[in-house]
Structure 1
């Protein structure tokens, strides 16, 4: 039976191989720095101890959803979206509000140094910043692809969603319970207030109903814990 350490090492090796292949595909020149140090730095960031949801498991999940959605997202440059997935939470401190902006700055600095062209790099920066709102403009196929992949966790089974919500709570363990419930309820209401959680037809058809059911259930539980009414 594999130990946690073995599983972790296998995950890191698998992710590093994916990163290496991706960077070789997208960069402009052949005589560029080796891809491994950049991948190792990113994996190290995603493995930081303050992460319980925004960790390597989330990175793998988002990359997997990009792979799933890409054939149904004509017009989107899937490799550029994959780069954005690698960087979208590369800087993550639960007690800070500028994580996406710092992640975007890291993407610009690292990708240009690693040999990725300025046009693709700036598109990655734009996509990373888009994960602040998850609200791409109509016709932004790359933005739709990234945002749907990032939000796919909302459509998990009840057990998967409960594990996700518990992991988010652990990341915010420093926040008092009453304050956390109020803030979390606000996030859930904002999501439920969107006309559509998912923008690609494929994701909307398969995930929208389950995601709304999960969000509504969690909001109702938060309301019952505070003595407030759940959503009508």
Structure 2
């Protein structure tokens, strides 16, 4: 796995953080601890590293790639599967506010990061929002994985919701997948959409078939 501590420092400084290195590193360590919480099975350090790698690879698609990177760091920083609705995203956005103020990141950059984090609740980036489109596309890239990798992702999500009875989980998961299929577009960036839409839809439809059995 990539050196996430170094990646965090670079993103924070690229976004204009004025705090000293010790403070920046302390905030990064606190985030890494959150991403390593034992109840996580999919929303893990590996998921974070994958998102950051995609954002790095596709950085020219964003207007403010370092802010997209910071949003990736925070978007699932608060993650409790028992929290209803968009509670995790809202708590993550508030965590971003507190941390980035501590780091001395400019206010307009903080506002952008918070907005991007909240976008991941529904993955419906507005037209023309290059930063939001890249973050949401990267977060949904797992849907376009090869079938075996997709099945591992789906199994990990089920493990995170092990406290939910099977019938209830199947109904809830199916509703989420159907909402994804109903989005105007799964992916906003045309090049990524061309590469990822077909395999993603195939995976979702295949999982829905399994859930409905």
TM-based fold match above 0.5: yes
Q: Give 2:80's aligned residue.
A: 93
Find the aligned partners of 1:55 and 1:202 in 2 and give their Cα distance. 27
- Structure 1 residue 172: Cα displacement: 0.1
> Is 1:175 the equivalent of 2:164?
yes
> Is 1:82 the equivalent of 2:62?
no
Structure 1 unaligned regions, length at least 5:
1-10, 225-232
**Normalising to structure 1: TM-score of the pair?**
0.87
Distance 1:48 1:31, change over 3 A: closer
Distance 1:31 1:172, change over 3 A: closer
Find the aligned partners of 2:183 and 2:24 in 1 and give their Cα distance. 39
Distance 1:31 1:223, change over 3 A: closer
- Structure 1 residue 30: Cα displacement: 6.6
* Equivalent residues in 2 for 1:166-205, closer than 5 Å: 166-205=155-194
User: Higher mean Cα deviation, 154-163 or 188-197?
Assistant: 188-197
**What is the CA RMSD across the aligned residues, in angstroms?**
1.4
**Normalising to structure 2: TM-score of the pair?**
0.95
Contact 1:69 1:203 in 2 (8 A): no
Contact 1:33 1:115 in 2 (8 A): no
User: Higher mean Cα deviation, 30-39 or 75-84?
Assistant: 30-39
Find the aligned partners of 1:151 and 1:32 in 2 and give their Cα distance. 32
Specify which of 78, 93, 105 is matched with residue 104 of structure 1. 93
Specify which of 133, 138, 160 is matched with residue 149 of structure 1. 138
> Is 1:59 the equivalent of 2:20?
no
Which has the bigger relative contact order, CA under 8 A and spacing at least 6?
2
Aligned length in residues: 211
Contact 1:32 1:114 in 2 (8 A): no
Structure 2 unaligned regions, length at least 5:
none
Find the aligned partners of 1:30 and 1:43 in 2 and give their Cα distance. 19
SS in 2 for 1:35: helix
- Structure 1 residue 195: Cα displacement: 2.5
- Structure 1 residue 57: Cα displacement: 0.7
**Cα shift readout 1:167-208 (whole Å, capped 9, x = no counterpart):** 000000000000000111111111112231000012101100
Q: Give 2:11's aligned residue.
A: 22
Find the aligned partners of 1:216 and 1:32 in 2 and give their Cα distance. 47
